[in-house]
Amino acid sequence: MSTEELKLQIFRQVDALDANKLRELHGIMRNFINSNKNIDDWAQMSDSEKQGIEDAISELSQGKCIVHNDVMAKLARKFNRA
Q: Looking at the 3D structure of the chain, how many domains does it have?
A: 1
Q: Please, what sign has the CA dihedral across residues 3, 9, 11, 17? A: negative
Digit-coded pLDDT (tens) for 38-72:
667 788 889 999 999 999 988 888 888 888 999 99
Q: Report the SS3 class of residue 51.
A: helix
User: What range defines the domain where residue 27 resides?
Assistant: 3-78
pLDDT of residue 42: 80
pLDDT of residue 39: 65
> At 74, which amino acid appears?
K
DSSP of 4-16? HHHHHHHHHHHHT
